[in-house]
Chain A
Amino acid sequence: MCENKIYTVSIYTENNIGLLNRISAIFQRRHINIESINTSSSEIDHISKWTIVVELSEDRMKKIIGQIEKQVEVIKAYYHKEDEIIYQESCLFKIKSEFLFEERQIQNIIKDSNAKIVHVNREFFVLEKSGRTEDIELFHRELKAFGIMQFTRSGRIAVTKDEMKISEMLKVF
């Protein structure tokens, strides 16, 4: 048996109702937890791009790619190892405004982390940070000491170092 690793799955699909259910059912049926999932428009008009992060063995990953590609509205699916992609995640922190003015340390943390203040009012301010998983985890740990009112984090989005020839594939039709 090969060992479990983090894989990022890229799927190009038609933009149809119900496809989320169909794709997620492929993982659910095999008792695999989806670590994160993101769908958005892609570089091609009217084609959606999905980015799914899962942890499993490569053998199972390959079989799941086959099951995903089997779906009528899926154009192509790929899986990537960590070193084959450039990825980012984004997160938001809501923190009491008093800390921003009274705690010098928090100002340094914000400065060092390349986080952005996207909103400030009397009661709270909102920080936005993008980065790799470990950058966000570190930032979270640093801010936790001051008390975080709300925290949320997006799924991973990724582009590959190698080309994915979707446009060529669609031209063949």
Chain B
Amino acid sequence: MEESYTLEKKEKTITKESISGSEALMKCLMAEGVETLYGYPGGAIMPVYDQLYKYQDRIHHVMARHEQGATHAAQGYSRISGKVGVVIATSGPGATNLVTGIADAQIDSTPLVCITGQVSSHLLGSDAFQETDIIGISTPVTKWNHQITKAEDIPKVLAKAFFIAKSGRPGPVLIDITKDAQFEEFDFSYQKCIGIRSYKPVPVVNKKRIEAAAALINSAKQPLIVWGQGIILSEAEDIFKALVEKSGIPAAWTILGASALPTSHSLNVGMVGMHGNYGPNMLTNECDVLIAIGMRFDDRVTGNLDSYAKQAKVIHFEIDPAEIDKNVTADIAILGDAKDSLTQLLPYLEEKTYSDWHQKFKDLYAIEYDKVIKNDIHPTKEGLTMGEVIHQINLQTKGNAAIVSDVGQHQMIACRYSNFNITKSNITSGGLGTMGFALPAAIGAKMAAPERDVIAIIGDGGYQMTIQELGTVFQQRIPLKIVVLNNEFLGMVRQWQQLFFDKRYASTEMTNPDFVAIAKGYYIDAQKVTKRSELKLAVQEMMASDGPYFLEVCVEKEGNVFPMIPSGAGVSEIRLE
């Protein structure tokens, strides 16, 4: 193992001093610019917590109420700031409780460094108290992981961990440190890692392919851009906007791409996928050139691949070579960082307008507005809708808030109807679909961006999966806004039961507690809205509040999210009702 470390490129900064492994860890974190981390103490990580006590003026440790909450908080922190999120937990159950958050970060390409304590090295494999093979367990859901049994390995492994987490296609890294390595003293020095010989994080953009892509785009009659989170991760928003505006091509987004281009932008034609907009889904199967940028053709985006954009030439801009031709075969694949690729592409593109093509999007939007959107955001029926709550939040935040959504119907509604003026404003669990994500993720997001309004939109089901993090909100006095859209159902599962399982509502009806009383139990200001007439004032009060605020909105019980591409159907089989 030691051999390979000499095969990494390092910055030249050397200072030597003899310190413990756990103090070295603090110095590594500070050298990597870590100011905030999320975690939960326990036996095998106690030497590290002892150092967190010593360094508390320089490193802010936020104690979650469950290790899963710590991972989602670190994810929220990372997603809004672009920095690496850091998590600390103890061995055994502390480590296994991280797994959901790590898996979420892996599939949504979120850079995390998770540090777990481990039993002392002489106890490894002895089924010691709180021993678990977290390296084995986390292997399939980490970009990289490593166990440290000697203090002297801490600096080089940590340097490598931060480099791997952040570079290329980002992802989670787990470092497991035995307790004896935390205690052991050694001569500390730190050098940042700037390269690993077996790892090529950013492919070089192929200029010939850029030219070929430009020629294909310039000759297109009905081109469509579908962008994903790659735009946000490579911080390519400005060049992307310039490219969209110059080329005049309608641009649609995947759920994780949301907010990279403002919702109100005239060339933003909405969301693709299962509950995306009617126009971009239908017209995916009419475009002649499909330009996919920083997205991975997830099944929730494509529906049935056999009837996905078969008529189109596909150009795929992507940083991860394994994504090329994985789900959709690319006619032109351009590997590289989206910002580099788009910067090279822009000068080749011709200025165009495509007015007839845009008219098709407008016509389909008009149909969707009439059949779905109007009834969602300006309902005339009795029950409150999720859409009108989001609409009210839009009006009062003017589209400047960061929206952190959980998973389910409210997530689809939040993504469909939120106005996003600012990038990195849609924080949600896209790939893994982790219920319980939003409350802790919103904690991390608000801490990373205290100047922004951060609003968690959560269903009554998901809220109860990580409701204990109200304790973190309270202890840290985090002024985030929590909106629970309560339909007394696991709404999305119920919708599927209604549509595909003959309304057999197996285990989806919720008997809920008094959510306001629970929030108040944590000394969080709270109110509940049951009538349309109360909504505006309640949202006003929430937004005007200086501290954390909880708002429960009782919405109609059996509302459905449309449009919808039924599971297994093609994008043009999208249903409006």
Contact = CB atoms under 8 A, between A and B. Distances in A.
Interface string A35-72: 00000000000100000000000000011001101101
A66 B4 contact: no
A115 B321 CA distance: 45
A151 B77 CA distance: 57
A173 B322 contact: no
Contacts of B322: 63, 66-67, 69-70
Contacts of A72: 143-144, 164, 196, 198-199
Nearest to A17: B1
Contact of A16 (B4, B136, B199): B4
A74 B9 CA distance: 17
B3 A18 contact: no
B197 A75 contact: yes
B-side binding surface: helix, strand, loop or mixed?
A: mixed
B139 A18 contact: yes
Nearest to B173: A72
Contacts of A75: 197-198
A99 to B, nearest CB: 43
Given A70-B320, A72-B164, A75-B197, A18 B4 contact: no
A70 B139 contact: no
Contact of B198 (A13, A22, A25): A13
Nearest to B197: A173
A14 interface: yes
Interface residues of B, number: 26
B450 interface: no
Most buried by B among A14, A17, A25, A67: A14
A15 B139 contact: no
Nearest to B322: A66
Contacts, number: 59
A2 interface: no
A81 to B, nearest CB: 19
Contacts of A62: 325
B147 A66 contact: no
A106 to B, nearest CB: 45
Nearest to B327: A63
A170 interface: yes
Contacts of A29: 140
B136 A14 contact: no
Contacts of A21: 135-136, 139
Contacts of B326: 63, 66
A29 B103 CA distance: 14
Contact of B321 (A17, A25, A70): A70
Nearest to B4: A14
B471 interface: no
Contacts of A16: 1, 4
Contacts of A25: 139-140
A73 interface: yes
Nearest to B3: A46
A119 B164 CA distance: 50
Contacts of B7: 14, 173
A15 B4 CA distance: 8
B146 interface: yes
Interface string B1-19: 1011001010000000000
Nearest to B164: A72
10 contacts: A13-B198, A16-B4, A25-B140, A62-B325, A70-B321, A72-B143, A73-B4, A73-B198, A74-B198, A75-B197
Interface of B: 1, 3-4, 7, 9, 135-136, 139-140, 143-147, 164, 195-199, 320-322, 324-326
Given A18-B146, A74-B198, 16 more contacts: A14-B198, A15-B1, A15-B3, A16-B1, A17-B1, A18-B145, A18-B147, A21-B135, A46-B4, A66-B324, A67-B322, A72-B196, A73-B198, A173-B7, A173-B195, A173-B197
